[in-house]
């Protein structure tokens, strides 16, 4: 948008006055932030209204991205960027004596996700809007996001994340768009007009109230919508009829049980199993979302049997897969379509993405629980399954083992991944390797039955947040060097490759990294009191804590470097600072123990002056989107070291690459494609390959005891876990010790240790050659454009959703 500085200043002063009855002099930072956010929202509202009107009137196909998680982070900076008014606002505010950066820091992160899956959904929203695709998010407005992490004495302590405490300037509550969602009760079957009719009785109604957040496109007049649902009790009449008059205790219990639905985001916990509330959450937002889509579709006057021409629904992991049955229910019970018509429309609308092969993460619900909570939905799933099993039996007559294995309902469990596959026309993995593993290992039966459904869509990241916003110096340098066309076509970053050998450009790249590192070092000193050397190699591993991601491999290697330095204090290794950031699920003990281990190692190393500050370890408390934006532009080395085959894609890997870090990686997830894009000279690959891991898992042949007995470095490290070196209590790290030895090291940490240590020796020697290192950084940035989520989302749009990319919204009258 075009905005004049003077106009902005007067708008801002007025907004502050109208919102808080304050002038700049007396206003708190919080109020100044809210006035700015409110003003930015005002600036987008007209386009927002016009966009919605256009979508409704034109019948343009809409895609709704259903996700339990949207890990948005902060919106002020990215909205200013997408509107193209950041600089003018910054200048205007400076003249008013206000620092924009300080106001940006006031905003609470919307941390409505655990990690990659939720952040991917947020990147996709940004890319859909910026590519002109009519695409919206649908999810839950959790009152509490993922917990806030405090580190106390080296241990993770979880504190509720009440992100809405100060209010949320971006959302609008749409009271008039509330929907009723029904739980429990029973189904009475009746014949009305000769049609078998299912009547839901004695159910518990819940009111779903939508809160809409604008999703602002980059340099386009479109504004899409993220709609998050909040659960509220149905008003007074319900309490009146259902409970005896004046029974406040019951009414209060009802209110609490309803509000619990949107109270808190579940951590992706190994203990989630069978959590009734989680299933309630899923049905709650899916039902509300689909009902509201249908309501607005019907307003447009288009016929119901053309719904699939105008609507697409994406199922982000299995969490929203109950959508298949809910849409069937609406089409059959409410719109009175036949089963076959409804099934055709439903499967044409639904598409499903799988985000993990870890079997613990695949959702299965006990039949009794499911039936009680969602009786009509259960009946529909039974019927879907009956027809599906019949079809299987036609293809593979009598192969009962295989049919049982593929059945949606089996062993007293409802298998949500199976429902999603059967009920969708598209099933995709999130990186080439991952999709191949799905097709030939995890879901091979389904692939044989439905080969046409399977496809790959490699993940991506929005380069607007993960380069332009978080690393403005680098972004400006790129534009100064190759022009600005890369912003709209990030693949054109590859023009930077020409400057690979240009010493002046190399120096500029190096000095930007240096400046970013110096800034961050100051922040670390102020926040943690740790003094780090900004000239040391910044080696970073930030991601959820999980055994398969192998933070343990990293920390064991740091201990190994420390051991070497203790043996030989004049050892010639380059100074390194290792950064970790990770939240562990509250009930995932091994993960929490790993955090304590990292902190114990940090305390030991950071306080040992005999190693001449050659090593430092920093655990970044409360890793979040906004912290990621600070650390990623500083990284020299990006740690992407998951056990091959286990990381579906990874997206942090791409963010580091785009900011010019060199990746130490296993050939897992999207690392494989990063290697292909950047070339093997510009990435440091090590360790077992996916097929080797899969083969060990199938046929055996690995014993961690062998490594322990034969490699004296490993032997020492494992012993140090339990001999009092790191903790007064020898039992402190016993679980880690046992997982590596007694349980045969499920994630091949010891097996890969030697290769990993060698990979780091390579990093050390590459870094010594400044010129070579700068070349590598440049090549990484230059080849990162293919990992922009704009690229990914265009493939979803074309191959799966059948949506169009609109250039601009036509002018509205």
Active site residue 651: yes
Spatial neighbors of 401 by CB under 8 A, at least 6 apart, are none
**C-beta nearest to ligand 26V: residue:** 116
Alpha helices in 319-431 (DSSP H): 323-329, 339-349, 367-373, 375-395, 400-406, 416-422
Assess whether 544 carries a catalytic annotation: yes
**120 near ligand 26V, rule: CB under 6 A:** yes
C-alpha 587 chain-centroid distance:
20
268 binds ligand 26V (CB under 6 A): yes
- Least spacing, CB of residue 109 vs ligand 26V, in Å: 18
Q: Residue 116 or 423: which CB sits closer to ligand 26V?
A: 116
CB of 812 to ligand 26V, least distance (A): 36
Catalytic residue among 651, 663, 792, 803: 651
**In angstroms, rounded to a whole number, what is the distance separating the alpha carbons of residues 495 and 503?**
16
Which of 451, 448, 424 minimizes the C-alpha distance to 344?
Answer: 424
Residue 569 CB neighbours (<10 A): 11
Q: In the complex, what is the shortest distance from the CB of residue 358 to ligand 26V, in angstroms, rounded to a whole number?
A: 5
Rounded Cα distance between 387 and 107, Å, is: 51
Length of the chain: 813
Q: Give the residue from 176, 184, 236 showing the smallest Cα distance to 208.
A: 176
CA distance 381 to 598: 46
Q: Is 315 in the site for ligand 26V (CB under 6 A)?
A: no
**Given the residues 655, 751, 760, 783, the one annotated as active site:** 655
Residues 578-617: x/- map of binding to ligand 26V (CB under 6 A)?
----------------------------------------
State the nearest-atom distance from the C-beta of 525 to ligand 26V, in Å: 33
Answer for which of 143, 355, 453, 760 binds ligand 26V (CB under 6 A) is 355
197 assigned to active site: no
470 in Cβ contact with 633 (< 8 Å)? yes
# chain residues binding ligand 26V, by CB under 6 A: 22
Nearer to ligand 26V, 107 or 268 (CB): 268
- Rounded to a whole number of angstroms, the minimum distance from the CB of residue 432 to ligand 26V is 13
The active-site residue, picked from 15, 376, 546, 549, is 549
Binds ligand 26V by CB under 6 A, chosen from 77, 92, 111, 115: 115
Return the number of the residue (329 or 457) whose C-beta is nearest ligand 26V.
Answer: 457
DSSP assignment string, 12-49: HHHHHHHHHS--GGG--HHHHHHHHHHHHHHHHHHHHH
Q: Is 225 a catalytic residue?
A: no
Q: Is 543 labeled as catalytic in the residue annotation?
A: yes
**Does position 117 bind ligand 26V by CB under 6 A?**
yes
Give the Cα-Cα-Cα angle 47, 50, 55 (nearest 5 degrees).
125
Q: Check residue 641 for interaction with ligand 26V (CB under 6 A).
A: no
- Does the protein bind ligand 26V through residue 317 (CB under 6 A)? yes
Region from 111-119, 131-139, 291-299, 534-542 binding ligand 26V, contact rule CB under 6 A: 111-119
CA distance 140 to 68: 6
Q: Does residue 429 belong to the site contacting ligand 26V (CB under 6 A)?
A: no
**DSSP for 145-163, written as a single string:** EEEEEEEETTEEEEEEE-T
222: its two tokens: 């479109």
CB contact set of 340 (below 8 Å; sequence gap of 6+) = none
**What residues pair up with 148 in beta bridges, in sequence order?**
159
Task: Kindly tell me which residue out of 130, 281, 287, 459 binds ligand 26V, with binding defined by CB under 6 A.
Answer: 459
- Specify whether 549 is catalytic: yes
Residue 302 binds to ligand 26V (criterion: CB under 6 A): no
According to DSSP, residue 245 is labeled: T
**Is 648 a residue that touches ligand 26V (CB under 6 A)?**
yes
The stretches of 529-646 forming alpha helices (DSSP H) are 551-567, 589-606, 625-631
Among 79, 168, 651, 659, indicate the residue that binds ligand 26V (CB under 6 A): 651
Q: List the one residue out of 393, 369, 391, 371 whose CA is nearest residue 381.
A: 371
Which residue of the set 32, 220, 364, 544 is catalytic? 544
Residue (of 316, 339, 313, 318) closest to 328 by Cα position: 339
Beta-carbon count within 10 A of 340 CB:
9
134 touches ligand 26V (CB under 6 A): no
x/- map, 532-571, ligand 26V, by CB under 6 A: --------------x-------------------------
- Contact status: 356 vs ligand 26V (CB under 6 A): yes
| 224: phi then psi, degrees, rounded to nearest 5 | -85, -175
* CA-CA-CA-CA torsion sign (339, 342, 348, 353): negative
Which of 361, 379, 510, 590 forms a contact with ligand 26V (CB under 6 A)? 361
From the list 76, 384, 430, 726, which residue makes contact with ligand 26V (rule: CB under 6 A)? Answer: 430
Least distance from C-beta 364 to ligand 26V, angstroms?
A: 12
Residues that bind ligand 26V (CB under 6 A): 115-117, 120, 268-270, 317, 355-356, 358, 360-361, 430, 459, 546, 647-651, 669
Query: What residues act catalytically?
Result: 355, 543-544, 549, 651, 655
């Amino acid at each position: 948008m075009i905005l004049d500085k003077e106009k902005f200043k007067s708008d801002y002063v007025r907004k502050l006055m109208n919102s808080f009855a304050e002038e700049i002099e007396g206003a708190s930072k919080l109020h100044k932030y809210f006035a700015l956010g409110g003003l930015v929202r005002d600036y987008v509202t007209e386009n927002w209204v016009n966009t919605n009107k256009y979508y409704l009137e034109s019948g343009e196909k809409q895609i709704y991205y259903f996700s339990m998680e949207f890990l948005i982070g902060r919106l002020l900076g990215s909205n200013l960027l997408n509107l193209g008014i950041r600089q003018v606002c910054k200048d205007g505010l400076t003249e008013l004596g206000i620092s924009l950066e300080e106001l940006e820091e006031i905003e609470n992160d919307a941390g409505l996700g655990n990690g990659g899956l939720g952040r991917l959904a947020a990147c996709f929203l940004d890319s859909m809007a910026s590519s002109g695709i009519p695409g919206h998010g649908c999810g839950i407005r959790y009152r509490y996001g993922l917990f806030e992490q405090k580190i106390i004495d080296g241990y993770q302590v979880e504190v509720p994340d009440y992100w809405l405490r100060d209010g949320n300037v971006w959302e609008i509550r749409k009271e008039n768009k509330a929907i009723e969602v029904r739980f429990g009760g029973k189904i009475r079957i009746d014949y009305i007009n000769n049609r078998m009719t299912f009547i839901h009785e004695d159910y518990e109604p819940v009111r779903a109230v939508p809160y809409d957040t604008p999703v602002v496109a980059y340099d386009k007049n479109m504004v899409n919508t993220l709609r998050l649902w909040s659960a509220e009790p149905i008003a007074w009449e319900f309490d009146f009829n259902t409970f005896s008059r004046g029974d406040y205790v019951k009414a209060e219990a009802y209110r609490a049980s309803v509000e619990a639905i949107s109270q808190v985001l579940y951590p992706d916990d190994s203990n989630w199993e069978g959590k009734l509330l989680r299933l309630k959450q899923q049905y709650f937002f899916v039902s509300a979302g689909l009902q509201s889509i249908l309501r607005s579709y019907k307003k447009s006057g288009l016929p119901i049997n053309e719904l699939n021409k105008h609507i697409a629904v994406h199922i982000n992991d299995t969490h929203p897969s109950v959508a298949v049955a809910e849409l069937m229910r609406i089409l059959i019970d409410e719109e009175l379509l036949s089963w076959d018509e409804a099934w055709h429309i439903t499967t044409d609308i639904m598409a499903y993405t799988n985000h993990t092969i870890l079997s613990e993460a695949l959702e299965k619900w006990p039949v009794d629980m499911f039936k009680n909570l969602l009786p009509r939905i259960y009946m529909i799933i039974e019927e879907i399954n009956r027809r599906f099993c019949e079809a299987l039996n036609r293809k593979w007559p009598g192969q009962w083992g295989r049919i049982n294995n593929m059945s949606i309902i089996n062993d007293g469990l409802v298998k949500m991944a199976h429902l999603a596959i059967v009920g969708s026309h598209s099933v995709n993995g999130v990186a080439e390797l991952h999709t191949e593993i799905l097709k030939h290992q995890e879901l091979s039966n389904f692939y044989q039955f439905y080969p046409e459904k399977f496809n790959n869509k490699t993940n991506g990241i929005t380069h607007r947040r993960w380069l332009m916003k978080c690393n403005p110096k680098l972004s400006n340098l790129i534009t100064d060097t190759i022009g600005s066309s890369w912003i709209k076509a990030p693949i054109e970053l590859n023009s930077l490759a020409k400057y690979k050998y240009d010493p002046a450009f190399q120096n500029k790249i190096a000095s930007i990294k240096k400046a970013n590192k110096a800034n961050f070092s100051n922040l670390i000193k102020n926040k943690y009191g740790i003094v780090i050397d900004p000239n040391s190699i910044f080696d970073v591993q930030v991601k959820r804590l999980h055994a398969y991601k192998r933070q343990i491999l990293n920390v064991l290697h740091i201990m190994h470097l420390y051991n070497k330095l203790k043996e030989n204090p004049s050892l010639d290794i380059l100074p390194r600072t290792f950064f970790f950031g990770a939240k562990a699920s509250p009930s995932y003990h091994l993960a929490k123990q790993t955090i304590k281990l990292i902190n114990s190692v940090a305390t030991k190393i950071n306080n040992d002056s005999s190693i001449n500050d050659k090593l430092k370890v920093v655990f970044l408390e409360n890793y979040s989107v906004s912290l990621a934006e600070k650390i990623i532009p500083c990284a020299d080395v990006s740690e992407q070291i998951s056990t091959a085959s286990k990381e579906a894609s990874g997206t942090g890997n791409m963010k580091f690459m785009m900011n010019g870090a060199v990746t130490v990686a296993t050939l897992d997830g999207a690392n494989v494609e990063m290697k292909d894009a950047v070339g093997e000279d510009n990435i440091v690959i090590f360790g077992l390959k996916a097929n080797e891991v899969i083969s060990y898992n199938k046929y055996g042949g690995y014993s961690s005891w062998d490594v322990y007995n034969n490699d004296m470095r490993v032997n020492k490290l494992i012993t140090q876990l339990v001999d009092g070196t790191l903790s007064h209590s020898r039992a402190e790290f016993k679980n880690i010790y046992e997982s590596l030895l007694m349980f045969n090291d499920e994630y091949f940490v010891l097996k890969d240790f030697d290769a990993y240590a060698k990979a780091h020796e390579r990093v050390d020697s590459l870094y010594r050659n400044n010129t070579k290192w700068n070349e590598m950084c440049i090549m990484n940035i230059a080849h990162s454009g293919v990992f922009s989520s704009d690229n990914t989302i265009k493939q979803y749009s074309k191959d799966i959703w059948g949506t169009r990319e609109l250039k601009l919204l036509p002018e509205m009258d």
